[in-house]
Amino acid sequence: MENIANSEIEFLENRVERLDNHSFSRFREWFIEFDNSRWDKKLEMDSNAGKLDFLIDAALAEHRAGETRDL
């Protein structure tokens, strides 16, 4: 399975290297948006699963201890 993934990555790398400047710019914009969307979905899934609760707990503990300030 890893061989297939590696060959797909190499194929994509080769294709990206061949893009002209305009096409590369469009691809980069699309990829950044795509990457951000995947990150947002992962963050939402982790939050819904309680994986980030420790951050909330730490922030609330700091606030209760008077270690925060108004923005």
pLDDT digits (tens, 9 = 90+) for 6-19: 999 999 999 999 99
Tokens representing 67 are 């270690």
Read off the pTM: 0.68
Which of 35, 34, 52 has the alpha carbon at shortest distance from 43? 52
Which of 11, 8, 35, 3 has the alpha carbon at shortest distance from 43? 35
Q: Read off the pLDDT of residues 60-69 as tens digits, 9 standing for 90 and up.
A: 999 999 999 9
Rounded Cα–Cα distance for residues 1 and 13 (Å):
18
